[in-house]
Chain A
């Protein structure tokens, strides 16, 4: 087990005040104040950095920044640790300074430009040596100077393998992490996806489920199920349930098979602790616990699994003024501390507020892969997207071709691209096999032997690995057609099992792409007033002036436009209903006309004072607070279209968010005590999945009306309300 250096023993120079970096391009002068600004301007323009005000305004400014950056020595970067918003070096930054100082001394005087040339000229061993001397900030600074070919070349030299049951990252291999996520953690559905993935030669890296519910009991049950599937199929791999590290440690304590320990990382300590509820100390403890008690101790050389991706710090507003690539580099510096088995990059997952199109996503992925590999990490890549960005399947496929050329260790295997739980789109088993065939790659050796025995692959006389007779046939893992049928019936968005070579058969692709198209159309559809014409709405505007702004900056849709805010007056109603397209106008068209009459009937039957319903195009959930504050309604109910996923019908899914305003002193005190947040102003409940395939809108009208009455009666929402209701139910049971 790699020893962990105590945080206090890591030497970090004292922070320095910002310097001004000046440069000229022809007749234009440029000044960049502070390293953060310089680093931000030197990157390609990305949505997240634009929102943060860090991106260069034009190409010439960007090249000027790169020119200035290129001339800075590594020592210059070393001497200026970037600080948090309070001017302090946070724990993540400190960990990043745990580098090979002897190697650093040998390159300290190199400028970043010279380092770039050196890495392009030198052999792989020297790339790895240099990488061990770099902090995340240095790695990020470097990749901002590299073009696409250069990122591919440098990363390709920096191979990094890791061993658990299988040996991953060997030359000539490409592995996959099977991700059999199911929206309700249905074990049959998960089994179906595992069988489908294994049959396509997927899962040699890991079989890992993102749980829908992060409880010890549920995660433990999933772990045991995956363990059963792994052992019953005999597939040489390792398993993981990607819950919070605390949940996994609790599972480990009670003996569940936590073979690989997962956690999402962030590049700033405030994001890590406040949003991910994780500290460096906790990660240290987790690493040691797994080394001492993990079921793969003695088998695996590494057991930590981290997920990262550009933009998470920015979306939480906790990036400390650093751009997305720098934050990502800092994640890698933190990951390196634990000698991980795998690091998975999911840049593109968040949405258009960080990466709005293919170009931004592809370049960021190449940057991340290059940084991670250079810093000695076994990088797997998940170039992915959501339907409210402009990233496309084609862009994702271009990214994988480039990343495979760059030597990515593995990709995700999400069946037919569609993650049924997380409602985003990732690489598939078909993609992995396509890339293996195009680039002459094979799975991990232990897995390959098993797959050849099962007829999934055959080895040609020339050593080539070809698809075998059982490739893409999950029936081979089932006892009968009936078992396969039962498994299939538990899986949404399963458009067929037929294949054409390494690709899905055209019929399957057409169904899958049609679903994507319907979902995307829902995002870009305008609210059609004729559909909801029977409802006497008053219309308002948010700060998002158009769809582009709405999609790319979520904050705008949470604010009222100035002129609207100035016109709204306190009405003191019990309930204010707000209808917004959110991320699917189709959800409004298909649900509101049926739901709202039932809801209004229900509220009127209880003599609720109801404000005239508001229609707010381009809105977000948090708009509830702006409206609640302005109208001083007790409860603001936002009916809003959800982000479409891979199921066409589900692109019409709407949610009802109940924002209860804590305006009574005693109630607010109780809520503050309950939440631990003294500043709490609103409590939220939600009823989701309102659509024909989930909770039908007519029935949802009653469910929402009852929830409104519960909130108003108990003067509470969210978990506090549920606890009150639970106590009341227990008392009733005892009385009975």
Chain B
């Protein structure tokens, strides 16, 4: 099943998302901040990254930009999950290459559907 990296500095949310995604059969890896995320991105291959925006060491925008500017990691889909409501930041996230944006509080069902859809689209693109 797909490998998903969850980057989030709120422990409660981190664990909750892990539980929800694991239950659906995804292989979930956790990172508590930007630095951990970069380390873990180096060491394994992922299909999708779920990231918060405001975190220590490196914020979500940097995570997106780092991924999208790296030819080897460009293919990884990115969903931003954040409580930031500032429209400029959201636009910025999309401009840098985020695939989706969910505003906290999120709906667990919606998150799962979006992940499924993104991964399915990737599969189609791959097969073409």
- The answer to whether A and B interact is no
